[in-house]
Amino acid sequence: MKWLMLFTLLSTSSVMAKPLHETYLEKKYYYSALNEFFFETYNKPITEKVVNKLEEILFFTGVEILEDYDEDLLLKYPSSSIRFILGRKYYQRGHTKKALKYLENIHPKHRYFPEGKMVEAQVYFKMGDKSKEESAVTKCVKSAAVLEGEAANEKIARYYKMIEEVCLINAARNSFTRGEYSQALTNYEKIPKTSYKWPYVLLEKAWVHYQLKDYNRALGLLSTYKSPLLDTYFFPEAEYLSALAYFRLCLYDDSLIILNEYYQSYRPRFAQLHKVLSSHKNSKVFFYDALVDDAEGFNSNEEFVKKIFTRLKKQIRFSLDSNTIYKLNREINQIHAKEPKETQLELMPHLADVRENIKTKINYNAKKDIFDFLQTVPLYSAELFKLNLEIVSRQRDLLYKSSQLTTDKKKRTRGEFSNVKRSSIEHFWKFEGEFWADELGDYSLGLKSNCAEVKIEEK
Amino acid sequence: MKIVLLILQLAFIESAFGEEKVIYEYKKYEKFDLGNLEVQGELIAPGDISVRERDRKKFNLDFYERKDFSSFVKQDIEAFR
């Protein structure tokens, strides 16, 4: 009898000992397991075993899902994933010391270590600590390269490649802010043309060359955006910088051509974009649907809007969030098919909420990105208008002084090789009316500055 | 007597309402000898007519030039999650 009682007790305790989150984990209900895990552990001592279990579950769910959980709850778990999420959050709120407290303690072998170092480098940049910033960048680049090599699939490898590149680009940007233009260019040059970030880098490199007063190289880089390969990339800032570079070379007519093109061609496109988006600004699904359905709902005259959405879809964030929705749908379908009604009623509301939150997040982020882009338009439109005024004013002054700029329009050529500045590692290609993929990003104009004045001789 | 008064009254009314023709005649020719003209007073103006030169207003507007890429850094970090 005693043996029977002992056996009953042992069998009960073994059932009791297996937490529900373990059961869900075995059945591959990862999102349900995570939620159950927090319920079962939040008011108990957090041991290393508990932390390891959390890491195991987060490996399958990703950390995006943690956005839904209370910060005080997350603070109880000293895991690298949680440290990464909290450090990133504090960085975004501008709490540098708190951000460092978490970011510096991410385990070097952890999968979020490179991304953590990427954020950490920016924290040190904000604090003005250049040596620690550079050290964080080096660690970011090295660890991302290692994890890229060990990646289980192409998507994960792409994620680490992107981390590596963004670390280098941020280092270049920080050098630019400090006025270290050569150092900035060295880091920008490390970004290959095959990179998703490369089209964005062109504009930034053009600014560096502008600050170095190499207006020809800046103009050459910006001309790359006219290539059909880059037709989804349009930045008002690039148009403005082109007009400004021509202006600095006193090539006022060229500046005016850019200005007219902007007003005639691009402004109507922005108006079109603004119109489409304003009518859906309160929608909770429009931007999500446009991204997921490949922007099929747009008319043929809204091609520009479609291109913007295509650009947004290339973001890592969209890829991760879409993947989360895919995995959530799979879990929901499995529970629906395999579990009894009671379990379904217990798990489904949470999963449906999580899925809805992710969709809302995608919708919000897309809306924010597009409106942020649209908000830059008035600034550059106003600057272009000022530039127009200044050009008209200078041309009028020349007329009153009976002067003209050195280069006679009729005699003017489109540049000479002697006006092209280039370093030993920079290529030089002559533009002959066609864009070639291997030449993109290496163009430089060879225009002579037209700023000296000569008196017009009386006939 | 009454007849005399009536005649005087009529004469007065006629003179009051009647229009007198006034003919103005201008001189058809007049000669001025400018050389002999003298103006009394002191010369206080400069000897020749001059206009003071003034500079034309120059705009020289300040144009926006990027000094940092902080907004791009923020966007890129947020683009991961």
Q: Do B79 and A316 touch (CB under 8 A)?
A: yes
Q: Which two tokens stand for residue A194?
A: 């095959």
- A47–B contact, CB cutoff 8 A: no
Which residue in A88, A173, A387 is closest to B72 by CB distance? A173
Q: Return contacts of A35-43, CB within 8 angstroms, 24+ apart.
A: A35/A350, A38/A69, A38/A73, A42/A73, A42/A76
Residue range A180-192: average pLDDT?
95
Query: Terminus-to-terminus CA distance in chain B, angstroms?
Result: 129
- B73–A contact, CB cutoff 8 A: yes
pLDDT at B30: 83
- A133–B contact, CB cutoff 8 A: no
Full 3-state SS string of B5-74: HHHHHHHHHHHHHCCCCCCCCCCCCCCCCHHHCCCCCCCCCCCCCCCCCCCCCCCCCCCCCCCCCHHHHH
Q: Which two tokens stand for residue A285?
A: 């699904």
The answer to whether the beta carbons of residues A105 and B70 sit under 8 Å apart is no
Residue A12, CB half-sphere, CA atoms under 13 Å: how many?
6
Q: Which one-letter DSSP state was computed for residue A233?
A: -
pLDDT at A244: 97
The answer to whether the beta carbons of residues B66 and A207 sit under 8 Å apart is yes
Q: Do A122 and B69 touch (CB under 8 A)?
A: no
Lowest mean pLDDT among A181-190, A272-281, A334-343: A272-281
C-alpha–C-alpha distance, residues A397 and A266, integer Å? 30
Instruction: Report whether pLDDT(A4) > 80.
Output: no
Q: How far is B78 from chain A (nearest CA, A)?
A: 8
* Secondary structure class of A443 (helix, strand, coil): strand
User: Which string of b and e fits A340-350 if b means at least 16 CB within 10 Å?
Assistant: eeeebeebeee
C-alpha–C-alpha distance, residues A419 and A412, integer Å? 14
Confidence label for A277 from pLDDT (cuts 50, 70 and 90): confident
Nearest chain A residue to B62, by CA: A386
Instruction: Report whether pLDDT(B12) > 70.
Output: no
pLDDT at A96: 95
Residue found by looking up tokens 């104009």 in the block:
A445
* Secondary structure class of A452 (helix, strand, coil): coil
What is the percent of chain A where pLDDT is above 70? 84
C-alpha–C-alpha distance, residues A57 and A85, integer Å? 15
**Bigger pLDDT: A33 vs A300:** A33
C-alpha–C-alpha distance, residues A449 and A251, integer Å? 8
Instruction: Report whether pLDDT(A123) > 70.
Output: yes
Q: Do B78 and A92 touch (CB under 8 A)?
A: yes
Q: Do B81 and A240 touch (CB under 8 A)?
A: no
Element (H, E) at A405: strand A403-405
Give the best-scoring range by mean pLDDT among A7-11, A42-46, A227-231.
Answer: A42-46
Say what the ipTM of the complex is. Answer: 0.84
- A176–B contact, CB cutoff 8 A: yes
The answer to whether the beta carbons of residues A398 and A453 sit under 8 Å apart is yes
Nearest chain B residue to A362, by CA: B81
Instruction: Report whether pLDDT(A261) > 70.
Output: yes
Q: Which two tokens stand for residue A452?
A: 């000296």
Residue range A59-75: average pLDDT?
89
Full 3-state SS string of A271-321: HHHHHHHHCCCCCCCHHHHHHHCCCCCCCHHHHHHHHHHHHHHCCHHHHHH
Lowest mean pLDDT among A6-15, A138-147, A329-338: A6-15
Instruction: Report whether pLDDT(A282) > 80.
Output: yes
Nearest chain A residue to B60, by CA: A390
Nearest chain B residue to A240, by CA: B64
Which chain A residues are within 8 Å of B67, Cβ to Cβ? 177
Which chain A residues are within 8 Å of B64, Cβ to Cβ? 240, 379, 383
Lowest mean pLDDT among A16-25, A124-133, A367-376, A444-453: A444-453
C-alpha–C-alpha distance, residues B40 and B18, integer Å? 49
Instruction: Report whether pLDDT(A273) > 90.
Output: no
pLDDT at B25: 85
C-alpha–C-alpha distance, residues B62 and B64, integer Å? 7
Which chain A residues are within 8 Å of B61, Cβ to Cβ? 386-387, 389-390
Instruction: Report whether pLDDT(A207) > 90.
Output: yes
Nearest chain B residue to A170, by CA: B73
Q: Do A63 and B81 touch (CB under 8 A)?
A: yes
Instruction: Report whether pLDDT(B9) > 90.
Output: no
C-alpha–C-alpha distance, residues B9 and B15, integer Å? 10
pLDDT at B51: 66
Q: What is the pLDDT of residues A369-423, one digit of tens each?
A: 888 888 888 899 999 999 999 999 888 888 877 777 766 555 555 566 666 666 6
Query: Terminus-to-terminus CA distance in chain A, angstroms?
Result: 129
Q: How far is B67 from chain A (nearest CA, A)?
A: 6
- B65–A contact, CB cutoff 8 A: yes
- B55–A contact, CB cutoff 8 A: no
Q: Do A390 and B76 touch (CB under 8 A)?
A: no
Strand duo A453-455 + A403-405: pairing: antiparallel
Q: What is the pLDDT of residues A81-118, one digit of tens each?
A: 999 999 999 999 999 999 999 999 999 999 999 999 99
C-alpha–C-alpha distance, residues A413 and A111, integer Å? 56
Which residue in B58, B61, B73 is closest to A173 by CB distance? B73
For residue A117, give Cα distances in angstroms to A104, A134, A161, A332. Answer: 8, 10, 14, 35
Q: How far is A204 from chain B (nearest CA, A)?
A: 8
Instruction: Report whether pLDDT(A47) > 90.
Output: yes
**Bigger pLDDT: A195 vs A422:** A195
Q: Give the ranges where A128-229 is alpha helix by DSSP (H).
A: 130-150, 154-177, 181-188, 198-211, 215-223
Instruction: Report whether pLDDT(A9) > 50.
Output: no
Q: Do A177 and B75 touch (CB under 8 A)?
A: no
Q: How far is A114 from chain B (nearest CA, A)?
A: 12
Q: What is the pLDDT of residues B25-63, one digit of tens each?
A: 888 888 878 888 777 777 676 656 666 666 666 666 789
Residue of A457, A402, A404, A400 lying closest to B53 (CA atoms): A400
Which chain B residues are within 8 Å of A122, Cβ to Cβ? 73, 77
Mean pLDDT of chain B: 77
